[in-house]
A and B are shown apart, each in its own frame.
Chain A
Amino acid sequence: ETGVTQTPRHLVMGMTNKKSLKCEQHLGHNAMYWYKQSAKKPLELMFVYNFKEQTENNSVPSRFSPECPNSSHLFLHLHTLQPEDSALYLCASSQEESGGYEQYFGPGTRLTVT
């Protein structure tokens, strides 16, 4: 248990569906991250929020829409996804974005787009 929770753990959705992934951290951290992890590929950073402000958006398609209502919660809204978006989506948090602060990861949401 890392102090970062994610729901749901598994999600199967069609290409026309709309769904949301939820992440919550109980560590008092100020930075939160969304990553995509595909088999045999490096972790891909998608979005970063630092003190609730988005600081990174690594050319992520608009069908992924993040939301950070407060420093403890992070959402990833999904709509009209493609089969290639099937992957493990990991949420992480750290004390701050800068500096040598380690990131604590949630268990991930295994997403399958059919």
Chain B
Amino acid sequence: GQNIDQPTEMTATEGAIVQINCTYQTSGFNGLFWYQQHAGEAPTFLSYNVLDGLEEKGRFSSFLSRSKGYSYLLLKELQMKDSASYLCAVQDSNYQLIWGAGTKLIIKP
């Protein structure tokens, strides 16, 4: 079967750095997405990786290793507004998105 694993919840301190991991087992691979979802709101797109390596976008970076079936989202200089759920999703061979259950990130002052 297809499976996306990510931690259920993480806690970090304002101003610090946090890394959210995602491992996947899917039928084929056509890219990996990260989305942010604040409580009561819709998911919003953060990043897309299809090749191995690190993609940096401001305070957020995303890394992919296809051989290991592994990605992480790195958030730097954490702000209180970064408190949200972070969803990892993999596009399989049929271009269908397989979603993880999300990681709830709690930022403490």
Contacts and interface: CB of A to CB of B under 8 A. Distances in A.
Main secondary structure of the interface of A (DSSP, over half): loop
Interface residues on B, range: 20 to 34
Nearest to B89: A43
Please indicate which of the listed interface residues B4, B8, B42 has the most CB atoms of chain A within 10 Å of its own CB: B42
A102 B4 CA distance: 18
A2 interface: yes
A56 B41 contact: no
A104 B44 CA distance: 7
Residue from B50, B89, B99 with most neighbouring chain A CB atoms (10 Å): B99
The size class of the interface chain A forms with chain B is 20 to 34
A100 B44 contact: no
Interface of B: 4, 8, 30-31, 33, 41-45, 48, 50, 87, 89, 91, 95-102
